[in-house]
Amino acid sequence: MSQIRLLSMDFDGTLVRDWAPPPYPKTLVRTLNQLRCNGVLIAVNTGRTIHLVEEGLEYTGFPIRPDFALTTEREVFRWNGSFWEDFGEWNSQCQQEHETLYSKAEGLLLEIEEFVGSKTAARLYYEENRFSGVVSRTNSEMDDICQFIETQRLGFPEFAYQRNAVYLRFCHVAYHKGTALAELQRLTDISSEQTFAVGDNFNDLPMLNLTFARFLACPSNAIEDVKATVRNQGGFVATQDSGLGVHEALRHYLPDLLA
Convert the pLDDT of each residue in 54-81 to its tens digit. Answer: 999 999 999 999 999 999 999 999 999 9
Q: State percent of the chain over pLDDT 90.
A: 95
Closest to 227 measured CA to CA, from 245, 211, 247: 245
Is residue 156 packed enough to be buried (19+ CB in 10 Å), middle (13-18) or exposed (0-12)?
Answer: middle
Domain topology for 6-73+176-253: Rossmann fold (3.40.50)
Q: Which residues make Cβ contacts (< 8 Å) with residue 133, sequence separation at least 6?
A: 124, 125, 127, 161, 167, 168, 169, 170
Mean pLDDT of 166-187: 98
Backbone phi, psi, residue 159, to 5°? -90, 125
Domain segments of the chain: what residues? Answer: 6-73+176-253, 91-172
- The reported pLDDT for the residue numbered 256 is 81
How would residue 128 be classed by pLDDT, with cut points 50, 70 and 90?
Answer: confident
How would residue 185 be classed by pLDDT, with cut points 50, 70 and 90?
Answer: very high
Q: Residues 83-99: pLDDT tens digits?
A: 999 999 999 999 999 99
End-to-end CA distance of the chain: 13
Residue 151: pLDDT over 90: yes
